[in-house]
């Protein structure tokens, strides 16, 4: 696993990124292959490429302009915040239940492994603001669909979802019913 941007520059971006995603079998429970992106985040060139790649899809001349970028707790925060900065947009956290201090809207949903409730602040968006949702992995689509519902309920217009990794065999793209952009697909 190289972290030297100079020595890997001839290798296509997708291959470099794939090389930096670690499969962890049977975590957090048997039968799940967890996509660990920490090696990728630790690689300066790869991390920058991912942020640029996610932001590019929503630049003003492509799919933007964007008013707010939503990050889904917790790994979504790591990607969404720099994408928001890159796009000149605001950042909005969608968090697990009980973490946000102000009045919230809540949505419960099923995960690939378990169940969860997500929340967003009720005043996170002005009516009609153009919103992009960012997460690390799209699996079954439940997390993204719940987040899109929260954004709409809070007054935002969802332009689409960008993820680093799409687990295409789980059918999340169809389930989520959004314009989905993924940098890597398995
Ligand atoms: P889902 O709601 O099934 O689309 O699951 C997506 C959410 O769960 C994302 O926030 C991911 O961080 C996490 N997730 C689900 N499956 C995996 C996986 N195989 N590897 C890493 N994260 C996952």
pLDDT at 22 over 60: yes
* pLDDT band for position 160 (cuts 50, 70, 90): very high
User: What percent of the residues of the chain are helix, what percent strand, and what percent coil, each to the nearest 5?
Assistant: 35, 35, 35
pLDDT at 132 over 60: yes
Cα-based angle 133, 137, 140 (whole degrees, multiple of 5): 95
pLDDT at 97 over 90: yes
Q: How far apart are CA 136 and CA 125, in angstroms?
A: 22
* Mean pLDDT over each residue of the chain, to the nearest integer: 93
Residue 71 Cβ contacting ligand 1 at under 6 Å: no
Q: How far is the CA of 56 from the centre of ligand 1 (A)?
A: 23
Which DSSP symbol is given to 75?
A: H
Average pLDDT over residues 174-184: 97
Write the pLDDT tens digit of every residue in 61-75. Answer: 999 999 999 999 999
Phi, psi of 9, deg, nearest 5 = -65, -25
Residue in the block written with tokens 């687990």: 167
Residue 136 Cβ contacting ligand 1 at under 6 Å: yes
pLDDT at 111 over 80: no
Residue 135 Cβ contacting ligand 1 at under 6 Å: yes
Q: What pTM does this model have? A: 0.94
Tell me what pLDDT residue 11 has: 77
Tell me what pLDDT residue 25 has: 98
Name the catalytic one among 16, 57, 75, 173.
75
3-state secondary structure of 96: strand
* pLDDT band for position 14 (cuts 50, 70, 90): confident
pLDDT at 7 over 50: no
Q: State yes or no: is 119 an active-site residue.
A: no
Mutation to probe ligand 1, out of 111, 117, 133 (largest number of atoms < 8 A from CB): 111
The answer to whether 105 and 124 are in contact (CB under 8 A) is: no
3-state secondary structure of 90: strand
pLDDT at 134 over 60: yes
Q: Give the nearest ligand 1 atom to 35 CA.
A: 20
Q: How far is the CA of 7 from the centre of ligand 1 (A)?
A: 32
pLDDT at 5 over 70: no
């Amino acid at each position: 696993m190289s972290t030297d941007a100079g020595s890997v520059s001839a290798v296509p971006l997708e291959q470099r990124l794939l090389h930096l995603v670690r499969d962890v079998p049977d975590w957090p429970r048997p039968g799940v292959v967890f996509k660990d992106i920490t090696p990728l985040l630790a690689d300066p060139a790869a991390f920058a490429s991912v942020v640029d790649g996610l932001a590019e899809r929503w630049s003003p001349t492509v799919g933007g302009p964007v008013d707010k970028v939503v990050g889904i707790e917790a790994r979504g925060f790591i990607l969404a915040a720099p994408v928001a900065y890159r796009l000149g947009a605001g950042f909005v956290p969608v968090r697990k239940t009980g973490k946000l201090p102000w009045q919230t809207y809540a949505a419960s949903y099923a995960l690939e492994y378990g169940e969860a409730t997500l929340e967003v602040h009720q005043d996170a968006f002005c009516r009609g603001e153009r919103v992009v949702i960012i997460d690390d992995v799209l699996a079954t689509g439940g997390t993204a669909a719940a987040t899109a519902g929260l954004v709409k309920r809070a007054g935002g217009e969802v332009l689409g979802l960008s993820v680093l990794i799409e687990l295409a065999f789980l059918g999340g793209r169809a389930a989520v019913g959004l314009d989905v952009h993924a940098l890597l697909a398995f």
